[in-house]
């Protein structure tokens, strides 16, 4: 695998980007999430959906999803 290209400051493009984001007060967050393309994901989503069906928490979950869908674009 080729090495990342470095410039006059000795940093890669990604390193410069990370420094810029840090100066802007941002913090990098890496997180592992379930892969929605795997069959187990659909099965687990179905299982959890069935657990909510008809319960008071169902309305709260649906309201949350509707609010996320209606989130304004920047």
Give pLDDT, residue 8: 76
Sequence spans of domains, the chain: 1-29
SS3 25: coil
Give pLDDT, residue 43: 94
Q: How confident is the chain (74 residues) per 10-residue block, as mean pLDDT?
A: 72 92 93 94 93 91 88 71
Give me the helices (H) in the chain, please. Answer: 13-23, 39-52, 56-69
Give pLDDT, residue 74: 66
């Amino acid at each position: 695998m080729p090495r990342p290209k470095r410039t006059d400051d000795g940093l890669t493009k990604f390193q410069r980007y990370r420094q810029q984001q840090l100066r802007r007060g941002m913090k990098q967050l890496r997180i592992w999430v379930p892969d929605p393309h795997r069959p187990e994901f659909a099965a687990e989503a179905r299982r959890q959906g069935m657990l909510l069906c008809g319960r008071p928490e169902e309305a709260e979950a649906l309201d949350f999803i509707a609010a996320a869908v209606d989130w304004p674009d920047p």
